[in-house]
């Protein structure tokens, strides 16, 4: 009897192990025109790599200006970094299992309507979710028709168009080749025809420009007419993602990508001759007068390989900080790596890494180091070198990089930069300086 029971138990276990895993139900709907099948196929545990090329379901910017790229039930935040489940940030999106993935999304910008300003809207099938500061608003989700009357279900894309870009605060909705302009105040819908645009599978407004994503390419368009000007479409991985092993092939394409990329800089500096060097991911851009050059970091700084935290120029040398190490190169053609480096950052400058920025102003011998909101000074002629806290930056919670040049201190955050006459002025400033665009006003990109 015991033998029979034992055999029965073994048989039951073997059948259980052999049974196929149970997947959650797939609530898919019709594919987006011009793209891959628009199905909710990407379940928990899927390994997604945006650098391999993918058609995003929706793109939007959060209230801090960070772009969110949605794919299936996953989300990419910013221009690089690993994928995560979208319900980690927006748990309610997963509470309605009859709904698919995010079809469209936008962040409303409206100074005239505080009830909508900085609210994020997500569209799933026939429902709309409204979030404010990552919290779902009361009584949401609602039917799309209840919040945006005249707008169809199962959208392809959406993007906000605030005044003065549009005559009134407007949301542009895309479904196939149908375009709807929705007036946020009157609730009136105007149907448009954007003849020169491809069908958008995602759309978003970034740095005052409007982008239509189609497949893994994008086009910049006029929100009122849909007119696409310039050389489009372009490859999204060249401009909106930091992909180490992907890039255009020609020197001209390399330069344009680094000039016009929307990905934030890791480091920037200018040498004694006034030439600017900017570093982003695995690439760098150098500017000498009106001449531009771009290549991989490894091509000219092979010991460093890629991705620096900060770079500063002093006495004809580049000091390149990566994690807790300092690499030093003599400026020239080619740049010469100094023997004995890298050395520990703590030994060279008396501070632990990582640091956000480091710079030396012309004819000075003090390096200013920014870490978080604190700025420290190190006298490079002193022996031993001593770290001294100079002050606290109050106008910014964080910065990406900074440099010092003929125009003073340039602070870079995202695709914007701000100029200060000096470090003391930056620390004491009460009024924010003019916001300028890195890609256009610093690097001369024409779009």
**What mean pLDDT do residues 418-435 have?**
93
Residue 13 has a pLDDT of 36
Residues 6+ apart with CB under 8 A from 64: none
Tens of pLDDT, residue by residue over 55-88, are: 899 999 887 778 899 998 888 888 777 888 888 8
**What mean pLDDT do residues 36-40 have?**
39
| Distance from C-alpha of 437 to C-alpha of 370, rounded to nearest angstrom | 21
Please report which helix (H) or strand (E) contains residue 145, including its range.
helix 144-147
Is residue 155 over pLDDT 60? Answer: yes
Whole-number percent of the chain with pLDDT over 70: 85
Is residue 159 over pLDDT 60? Answer: yes
In the chain, what are the domains?
Answer: 50-239 (2.110.10.10), 251-442 (2.110.10.10)
Tens of pLDDT, residue by residue over 165-223, are: 999 999 999 999 899 999 999 999 999 888 888 899 999 998 778 999 998 889 999 99
Indicate the pLDDT class of residue 386, thresholds 50, 70 and 90.
Answer: very high
**What mean pLDDT do residues 45-51 have?**
71
Residue 65 has a pLDDT of 76
Indicate the pLDDT class of residue 46, thresholds 50, 70 and 90.
Answer: low
Q: Is residue 189 a contact partner of residue 181, using CB atoms and an 8 Å limit?
A: yes
Indicate the pLDDT class of residue 318, thresholds 50, 70 and 90.
Answer: very high
Is residue 33 over pLDDT 60? Answer: no
Distances (CA, A) of 132 to 108, 138, 303: 10, 10, 46
Between 150 and 61, the higher pLDDT residue: 150
Is residue 246 over pLDDT 70? Answer: no
| Distance from C-alpha of 3 to C-alpha of 10, rounded to nearest angstrom | 11
Whole-number percent of the chain with pLDDT over 90: 47
| Mean pLDDT score of the chain | 83
Indicate the pLDDT class of residue 256, thresholds 50, 70 and 90.
Answer: confident
**What mean pLDDT do residues 418-434 have?**
93
Indicate the pLDDT class of residue 247, thresholds 50, 70 and 90.
Answer: low
Residue 296 has a pLDDT of 85
Distances (CA, A) of 179 to 157, 286, 367: 10, 42, 54
- Coil, strand or helix: which one is 8? helix
Distances (CA, A) of 189 to 114, 133, 212: 21, 28, 20
Q: How far is CA 54 from the centre of its chain?
A: 16
Residue 95 has a pLDDT of 79
| Distance from C-alpha of 431 to C-alpha of 420, rounded to nearest angstrom | 11
Q: Name, of 22-26, 80-84, 168-172, 442-446, the range with top average pLDDT.
A: 168-172
Looking only at the bridges linking them, the beta strands covering 317-322 and 401-405 are: unpaired
Label residue 133 left, alpha or beta by phi (over 0 means left) and psi (-120 to 50 means alpha): left
Please report which helix (H) or strand (E) contains residue 346, including its range.
helix 345-349
Beta strands in 33-192, from DSSP E residues, in sequence order: 58-61, 67-71, 74-77, 84-85, 104-107, 119-124, 127-132, 135-136, 142-143, 157-161, 170-175, 178-183, 189-192
Residue 86 CB coordination number (10 Å)? 23
Residue 5 has a pLDDT of 42
**What mean pLDDT do residues 26-33 have?**
37
| Distance from C-alpha of 24 to C-alpha of 127, rounded to nearest angstrom | 21
Residue 227 CB coordination number (10 Å)? 13
| Distance from C-alpha of 42 to C-alpha of 36, rounded to nearest angstrom | 13
Residue 25 has a pLDDT of 35
Residue 213 has a pLDDT of 92
CA atoms within 13 A on the CB side of 93: 28
Is residue 392 over pLDDT 90? Answer: yes
Lowest mean pLDDT among 167-171, 242-246, 337-341: 242-246
* pTM listed for this prediction: 0.56
């Amino acid at each position: 009897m015991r033998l029979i029971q034992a055999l029965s138990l073994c048989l039951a276990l073997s059948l259980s192990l052999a049974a196929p895993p149970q997947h959650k139900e797939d609530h898919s709907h019709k594919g987006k025109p011009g793209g891959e099948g628009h199905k909710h196929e990407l379940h928990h545990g899927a390994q997604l790599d945006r650098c391999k090329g993918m058609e995003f379901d929706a793109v939007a910017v959060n209230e801090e200006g960070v772009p969110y790229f949605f794919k299936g039930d996953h989300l990419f935040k910013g221009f690089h970094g690993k994928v995560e489940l979208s319900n980690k940030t927006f748990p309610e999106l997963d509470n309605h299992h009859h709904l698919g993935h995010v079809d469209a999304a936008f962040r409303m910008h409206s100074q005239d309507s505080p009830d909508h300003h900085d609210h994020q809207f997500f569209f799933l099938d026939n429902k709309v979710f409204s979030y404010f500061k990552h919290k779902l608003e009361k009584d949401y989700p609602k039917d799309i028709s209840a919040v945006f009357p005249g707008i169809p279900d199962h959208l392809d894309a959406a993007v906000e168009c605030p005044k003065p870009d549009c005559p009134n605060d407007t949301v542009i909705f895309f479904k196939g080749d149908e375009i709807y302009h929705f007036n946020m105040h009157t609730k009136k819908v105007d149907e448009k025809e954007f003849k020169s645009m491809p069908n958008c599978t995602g759309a978003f407004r970034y740095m005052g420009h409007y982008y239509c994503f189609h497949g893994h390419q994008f086009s910049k368009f006029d929100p009122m007419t849909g007119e696409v000007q310039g050389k489009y479409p372009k490859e999204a991985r060249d401009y909106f993602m930091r992909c180490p092993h992907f890039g255009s092939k020609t020197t001209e394409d390399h330069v344009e990508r680094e000039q016009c990329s929307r990905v934030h800089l890791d480091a920037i500096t200018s040498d004694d001759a006034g030439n600017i060097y900017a570093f982003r991911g695995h690439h760098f851009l150098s500017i000498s007068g009106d001449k531009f050059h771009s290549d991989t970091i490894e091509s000219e700084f092979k010991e460093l390989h890629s991705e620096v935290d900060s770079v500063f120029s002093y006495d004809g040398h580049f000091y390149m900080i990566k994690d807790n190490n300092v690499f030093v190169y003599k400026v020239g053609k080619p740049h010469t790596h100094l023997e004995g480096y890298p050395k520990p950052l703590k030994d060279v400058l008396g501070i632990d890494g990582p640091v956000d920025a480091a710079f030396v102003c012309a004819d000075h011998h003090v390096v200013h180091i920014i870490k978080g909101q604190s700025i420290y000074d190190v006298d490079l002629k002193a022996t031993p070198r001593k770290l001294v806290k100079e002050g606290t930056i109050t106008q910014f919670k964080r910065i990406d990089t900074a440099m010092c040049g003929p125009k003073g201190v340039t602070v870079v955050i995202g695709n914007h930069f701000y100029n200060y006459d000096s470090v003391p002025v930056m620390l004491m400033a009460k009024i924010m300086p003019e916001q300028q665009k890195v890609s256009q006003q610093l690097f001369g990109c024409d779009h």
